[in-house]
Amino acid sequence: MKTNDVIFQTTTKVVLFIIVMFSIFLFFAGHHNPGGGFIGGLMTSSAIVLLLLAYDIKTVKKILPINFLTLTAVGLMIAVLTGVGSFLFGAPFLSHTFDYFELPLLGETELATAVLFDIGVYLVVVGVTMTIIQTIGESE
Amino acid sequence: MNNLVILPILIPLLAGIILIFFNKNIAVQKWISVIASLLSIGSAAVLVQNVLNNGIQTLKIGGWQPPYGIVLVADQFAALLVLSTAVLGLTGILFSFKTIGIERERFYYYAVVQFLLVGVTGAFLTGDIFNLFVFFEVMLMSSYMLIVHGGTKVQLRESIKYVLVNIISSALFVVAVAYLYAVTGTLNIADLSVRVAASGQTGLLTVIAILFLVVFGLKGGIFPLYFWLPSSYQAPPSAVTALFGALLTKVGVYAIARVFSIVFYHDIGYTHTILAWLAAFTILLGVIGAIAYWDVKQIVIYNIIVAVGVILFGIAVYTPAGMEGAIYYLIHDMIIKGALFFLAGAMVVITGTSNLKKMGGLMKNHPLLGWMFFIAAISLAGIPPLSGFIGKLKIVQGGFEAGQYTIAMVVLLSSLLVLYSIMKIFMKGFWGEQVLTKEQEKGSEKGLILPIAILLAISIGYGFGVEFLSPYVTQAAETLMNPDLYIQAVLKE
* CB contact B138 to A (< 8 Å): no
Estimate to the nearest angstrom the gap between the alpha carbon of B325 and the chain centroid.
15
| Helix ranges restricted to H, B109-246 | 109-125, 129-148, 153-184, 189-199, 203-220, 229-234, 238-243
Q: Is B355 helix (H, G, I), strand (E, B) or coil?
A: strand
Nearest CA in chain A to B107: A69
Chain B residues near residue A96 by CB distance under 8 angstroms: 62
Classify residue B191: in a domain, yes or no.
Answer: no
Chain B residues near residue A72 by CB distance under 8 angstroms: 20
* Least confident segment among A129-133, B34-38, B157-161, B200-204: B200-204
Interface test with B, best of A84, A93, A117 (most B CBs within 10 A): A93
Q: A107 phi and psi, to 5 degrees?
A: 75, -155
Q: Is B266 helix (H, G, I), strand (E, B) or coil?
A: coil
Q: How far apart are the first and last CA of chain A?
A: 21
- For residue B409, the enclosing domain spans 267-478
Burial class (CB in 10 A: 0-12, 13-18, 19+), A128: middle
B73, B61 Cβ separation under 8 angstroms: no
Cα B482 to Cα B473: distance, rounded to the nearest angstrom? 14
pLDDT of residue B49: 94
pLDDT of residue B487: 92
Cα B57 to Cα B48: distance, rounded to the nearest angstrom? 10
pLDDT higher than 80, residue B148: yes
Q: Is B347 helix (H, G, I), strand (E, B) or coil?
A: helix
Give residue B71's pLDDT band: very low, low, confident or very high (50, 70, 90).
Answer: very high
| Helix ranges restricted to H, B402-465 | 405-425, 449-464
Q: How many domains does chain B have?
A: 1
Report the share of chain B in percent with pLDDT over 90: 75
pLDDT of residue A113: 86
Beta-carbon separation of A80 and B13 below 8 A: yes
* Least confident segment among A103-107, B56-60, B408-412: A103-107
Interface test with A, best of B17, B59, B65, B107 (most A CBs within 10 A): B17
Which residues are registered as beta bridge partners of A111?
Answer: A99
Of A76, A80, A92, the CB nearest to B60: A92
Chain A residues near residue B3 by CB distance under 8 angstroms: 87, 92-93
Which positions in chain A have a beta carbon within 8 angstroms of at least one beta carbon in chain B?
Answer: 69-70, 72-73, 76-77, 80, 83-84, 87, 91-96
Beta-carbon separation of B14 and A95 below 8 A: no
* Least confident segment among A69-78, B65-74, B156-165, B351-360: B351-360
pLDDT higher than 70, residue B468: yes
pLDDT of residue B310: 94
Of B10, B18, B63, the CB nearest to A95: B63
pLDDT higher than 90, residue A97: no
pLDDT of residue B1: 53
Cα A7 to Cα A23: distance, rounded to the nearest angstrom? 24
* CB contact B60 to A (< 8 Å): yes
Beta-carbon separation of A73 and B60 below 8 A: no
Q: B267 phi and psi, to 5 degrees?
A: -125, 55
pLDDT higher than 70, residue B242: yes
Q: How far is A91 from chain B (nearest CA, A)?
A: 7
Which residues are registered as beta bridge partners of B72?
Answer: B59, B126
pLDDT of residue B493: 62
In our burial notation (b when 16+ CB lie closer than 10 A, e otherwise), range B379-413 reads bbbbbeebbbbbbbbbbbbbbbebebeebbebbee
pLDDT higher than 70, residue B201: yes
With residue B433 as reference, give the H or E element that holds it. none
Of A70, A84, A91, the CB nearest to B21: A70
Query: For residue B319, is it left (φ>0), alpha (ψ between -120 and 50) or beta?
Result: beta
**Of A26, A7, A32, nearest in space to A112 by CA:** A32
CB pairs under 8 A between A and B: 39
Q: pLDDT tens-digit profile of B416-428?
A: 999 999 999 999 8
Beta-carbon separation of B3 and A73 below 8 A: no
Q: Enter the ipTM.
A: 0.92
Of A77, A80, A93, the CB nearest to B3: A93
Beta-carbon separation of B61 and A92 below 8 A: yes
Of B17, B21, B62, the CB nearest to A94: B62
Quote the radius of gyration of chain B (alpha carbons, Å): 21
What residue segments make up the domains of chain A, in order of their start?
Answer: 5-138
Classify residue B2: in a domain, yes or no.
Answer: no
Chain A residues near residue B18 by CB distance under 8 angstroms: 77
* CB contact B17 to A (< 8 Å): yes
Nearest CA in chain B to A83: B62
Q: B492 phi and psi, to 5 degrees?
A: -100, 105
Mean pLDDT of B10-31: 92
What does B39-57 look like in DSSP terms, one character per residue? Answer: HHHHHHHHHHHHHHHH--E
Q: A128 phi and psi, to 5 degrees?
A: -65, -45
* CB contact B13 to A (< 8 Å): yes
Q: Which amino acid is at B34?
A: V
Classify residue B384: in a domain, yes or no.
Answer: yes
pLDDT of residue A6: 92
Chain A residues near residue B13 by CB distance under 8 angstroms: 80
Average pLDDT, chain B: 91
pLDDT of residue A21: 96
Angle, vertex CA B322, rays to CA B333 and CA B379, nearest 5: 30
In our burial notation (b when 16+ CB lie closer than 10 A, e otherwise), range B138-165 reads bbbbbbbbbbbbbeeeebeebbeebbeb
pLDDT of residue B436: 76
pLDDT higher than 70, residue B254: yes
Chain A residues near residue B60 by CB distance under 8 angstroms: 92
Chain A residues near residue B10 by CB distance under 8 angstroms: 80, 83-84, 93
A45, A129 Cβ separation under 8 angstroms: yes
pLDDT higher than 90, residue B241: yes
pLDDT of residue B311: 94
Q: How far is A61 from chain B (nearest CA, A)?
A: 20
B415, B392 Cβ separation under 8 angstroms: yes
Chain B residues near residue A76 by CB distance under 8 angstroms: 17, 20
Instruction: Tell me what percent of chain B is helix, strand and coil, each rounded to the nearest 5.
Output: 80, 5, 20
pLDDT higher than 60, residue B20: yes
User: How far is the CA of B205 from the CAs of B209, B258, B268, in angstroms?
Assistant: 6, 16, 13
Chain B residues near residue A93 by CB distance under 8 angstroms: 3, 6, 10, 59, 61-62
pLDDT higher than 70, residue A93: yes
Classify residue B304: in a domain, yes or no.
Answer: yes
pLDDT of residue B305: 94
Reported pTM? 0.95
Classify residue B82: in a domain, yes or no.
Answer: no
pLDDT of residue A1: 59
